[in-house]
Chains A and B, each alone.
Chain A
Amino acid sequence: MVAALLLLGATPAHAQRRVQLDVAPPTAATRVALVTTTNLFGDPDMRDLVRSGFPASMRFRLELWRVGGLFNDLEGHQDWELIIQYDPSAQRYRLARRNGDRLEDIGSFATLSTAQLLLERPLRVTLLPERDGSRYYYNIVLNIEALSVSDMDQVERWLRGVRGEGAAASLGSGMRTLMLRMLGGEKRTYERRSGTFVAGR
């Protein structure tokens, strides 16, 4: 049972294509941090949810840490969010970006893959070190969450036979979903750190 619980928290390597995050520190040429996301909709469960019409939120948090004497200091952070939802009337995926009070309607896409291609372009973030000569690193966290997935929504999905599974598989899937929801819901978290770099060089 402990092993089963652990499997819920860990990710079998062969089961899914993981979201890849990368953050490149600023260089003399770029002057900004570059955040790259690959395979954003690679999680089959999340693709399934979005295709079924559930909106998904992708919250990014980029942190800039300064290497200190004893402890590392969090010098600053930037948060932004992407929201995607399938519009059944237009049969297109609509995508918006929110950055604090800033809202941007990015556009609509015929397929998730097309939206993913646009989102895989490096994003320029102006979260820059304040102290030249100090050592820094970035940490990027991405939380992907299907919004408004209530228990009733789950039941509705099973009844609609979204996965086209048999009763036993549905029961197994239901148990897993129940466990996942108790452990934190339909939410995936990804994290990545840059290498340490010296500011101003």
Chain B
Amino acid sequence: MRSLALALLTALSAAIPARGQQTSRDTARVPAGLPHEVALEVAALFNATTTLRATDRVTIAAGQVVRGDVAVLNGPLEIAGHVMGRVLAINSDVIFQPGARIDGDLLVVGGEVEGLSTATIGGETRIHHAPLHYVITDDQLVALRDDGRPSEQWWRRLERRQQRNSNRLEVASAGVYNRVEGLPVRVGPVLYRDQGWGHLRLDAFAILRTASSFTSSAPDVGHEVRGELRVGREYGATLGGRLFDVVDAVESWQLSNAEVGLASFLFHRDYRDYYGRHGGQLYAAARATDNADFTLSYGDERWRSRTAHDPLTLFRNELAWRANPEVDAGRFHVLHATLRVDTRNDVFNPWAGWYLLADFERGTGTIDDAAPTSPDVRGLLVASTRYQRGFLDVRRYNRLSPGTSLNLRLVLGGWLSGDPLPLQRRLSIDGPGTVPGFDFRTHGERDVGTCSTSDAPAGHPAQCERIALGQLEYRSDAHISLSDRRALGSARRTRFSADGQWVFFADAGRGWLVNSPGSTLNYARSVLPPLSSYRTDIGAGLDFDRIGIYMAKALSDPTEPLNVFVRVRHRF
């Protein structure tokens, strides 16, 4: 096919000379023009270099050490030794021999670099294939301006655009589509300054909620104002503070935002519960690479219940939404210490490595209005409360062979000490993100998923004080190809082809209480419930990277029907 195209191109160029010349020019690679700033930088560097400056071939032999900068005009420059400064090559090729070392930056203009992978470069490497136009006046190199060239390096411009190093007005979603807010949209200015050593950021957003902000009876507009100072890039620290009036999820660890948003918007099914948070927070974070950080935060917040509205959905719009459960309303001071370590080779499609998220929370406050719970789930409630809560999510990804992997996940969370947890800080093991063989919020008597006993409050909230979840999955490459027979002849035509993975999984988990001696779901603080009491399931599915479809069957309760569900990206 390519030969045919080339032949056609040749024929066209022979028949129509003018168009042929155009084609020849269009298929050529043209070195990008040298930005004038770079030309000025190069001239200044060349003129300032005193250690080793040459206008002819230069060789730095193996074992030779140059204690300073090297600048070569016309060259070539061959390096096998060690340059303790920076290297500048103008209209010159640079040839590295194995073992070559440069402690500073390497800047090449109008030349090629050979053997770069065998050399050690301490600083930044920049290569411009376009030559420098210059004159030598009084032993000084003077760059000539070419007005047709770009004013600066275009990728730097792109990088700045990516880093959003500018002030702007931002209009963006402020969270997932949900039954309390509809689509929350944040509108406001963002001030961002990249200072080289870090960045400064200040933003102030009004949060508009499509389900409630535009009703005349109850205008409902939130806000979020944040200031942040970040020092360092790969390693460093962050200091910040924020003022907020937002709607937050009670449990956001089970499903991703995309999954919750899609399920709400498409199928009228919201898998999270929400509560209002209004207050301020200060935080400090230490960062060791992009893969590990430790954050401390302290907040003074007022928590309150939020009611469900009736946002539009694509399907089943005529159904009523599940009520959003009431929460314990009051003012709380909350301290968080959070450690995150992520050594996965790929965040979205991991084959190896660890993921660890550990969070410690200490809350003190006053409950002004206690939410209803199931009978026996908590005893007499005192207004003033003080609690400690922990949450641990550990995942390990193992590649067994080029096409198979075995992944494990353990989640532990809940009460550590102090008074019973407020309702919005409690947890559950329920729904497609945990033990998917059991349906979401459908169990009544002695429910080890949400810790409801007999009557569950409206909306069926998570009431467990502790949870434990173990997940295991085996993945194997799969190629799906659907074809049909052509109308004429016996050839088959591929209609659909996709690479994916077979997934086989097993899950076990449950929740329980520790401060409710009268409940059958209560266990002593120092013991784990027997494994026989856990919800367990097994299942299988096909994962096409972005979307996976699965089937799960409950083992611990054979009366549960087979569940079919869809997950966005991997299960964990």
Contacts and interface: CB of A to CB of B under 8 A. Distances in A.
Interface of A: 1-2, 5-6, 8-14, 55, 61, 63, 65, 67, 70-74, 77, 83, 85, 87, 92, 94, 96, 98, 101-111, 114, 117-118, 124, 126, 137, 139, 141, 147-148, 151-152, 179, 182-184, 189, 191, 193, 196
Given A8-B546, A98-B155, A109-B30, A13 B125 contact: no
B29 A109 contact: yes
B26 interface: yes
A83 B155 contact: yes
Interface in B1-50: 25-32
Interface residues of B, number: 67
A107 B29 contact: yes
A5 B346 contact: no
Contacts of A102: 116, 121, 124-127
Interface string B342-363: 0001101101110000000000
Contacts of A110: 25-28
Given A9-B545, A71-B399, A71-B400, A118 B162 contact: no
A81 B402 CA distance: 25
Nearest to A182: B258
Interface in B492-536: 494-500
Interface of B: 25-32, 116-118, 121, 123-130, 150, 153-155, 158, 161-162, 171-172, 258, 261-262, 266-267, 315, 345-346, 348-349, 351-353, 398-403, 480-481, 494-500, 544-549, 564, 566, 568-569
A49 B116 CA distance: 33
Nearest to A124: B117
A65 B500 CA distance: 20
Contacts of A77: 345
Contacts of B162: 147-148
A108 B345 contact: no
Ranked nearest first, the 3 interchain pairs of A and B with the lowest CB-CB distance are A9-B547, A10-B498, A110-B26
A196 B481 CA distance: 25
Contact of B399 (A55, A65, A152): A65
A92 B25 CA distance: 11
Contact of B569 (A83, A184, A191): A184
Contacts of B130: 105
Chain B interface, >50% SS class:
mixed
Nearest to A100: B125
B268 to A, nearest CB: 12
A182 to B, nearest CB: 5
Contacts of A104: 125-127
Given A105-B32, A141-B346, A10 B569 contact: no
B402 A83 contact: no
Contact of B345 (A13, A63, A92, A126): A63
B402 A193 contact: yes
A12 B545 contact: no
A72 B48 CA distance: 52
A151 B173 CA distance: 10
B546 A105 contact: no
B29 A118 contact: yes
Nearest to B105: A101
A49 to B, nearest CB: 14
Contacts of B564: 2
B154 A87 contact: yes
